[in-house]
Amino acid sequence: MNTPAPITSRQEMIDLLNEDLAREYQAIIAYVVYSQTLKGAEYKSIADELALHAAEELSHAIQIAKQIDYFNGTPTTTPKAVKTSDKPKDMLRFDLENEMETIRGYRQRIRQAESMGEYALSEVLRKIIAQEQEHFMDLAEALGIDNPVIEQE
């Protein structure tokens, strides 16, 4: 497991949280689009699940924006790019990859927050990461991946 670089300033934490926020925006957009464009009876239940994920990601975005404000920063307004495809399995893989990246980022952010003594932030992130891991498992199941592992970078 790689140890994240120590944070030396509140501004660094703001910058990292804004990266996280951009990923949350990306997830909201992807889940909204994918939930409405997945076609076929075999994708009906996962499409419904993705719509629920979109709402959870919006909650995450609000919580991250609140933390950025707590650090006296300004939340970003720009999402990371959203990959699209007309193939349902591709969309689900894109989401799986995005969730994996998000979970890795939050694992680092939790350690960084605790190294700064920002335990309230780490608790907020722990609650978010629990939902992100549920999303990851839902997507892996939809893709037929048993016991997926989130590799550390």
Query: Which tens digit of pLDDT belongs to each residue from 52-100?
Result: 999 999 999 999 999 999 999 999 999 999 999 999 999 999 999 999 9
- 112 with 7: CB under 8 angstroms? yes
Whether residue 151 lies inside any domain: the answer is no
Per-residue pLDDT band for 2 (boundaries 50, 70, 90) equals low
CATH code (residue 120): 1.20.1260.10
> Which residue range(s) make up the domain with 122?
10-142
Residues above pLDDT 70, as percent of the chain = 94
Nearby residues of 129 by Cβ (< 8 Å), 6 or more positions away: 103, 106, 107, 110
Cα angle for residues 19, 142, 104 (degrees, 5° grid): 25
pLDDT (tens digit, 9 = 90+) per residue, 15-44?
Answer: 999 999 999 999 999 999 999 999 888 898
1 found inside a domain: no
CA–CA distance, 47 with 38 (Å, rounded to integer): 6
The domain total for the chain is: 1
Closest to 65 measured CA to CA, from 117, 18, 106: 18
pTM score, whole prediction:
0.92
140 Cβ contact partners less than 8 Å away, ≥ 6 residues apart: 96, 146, 148
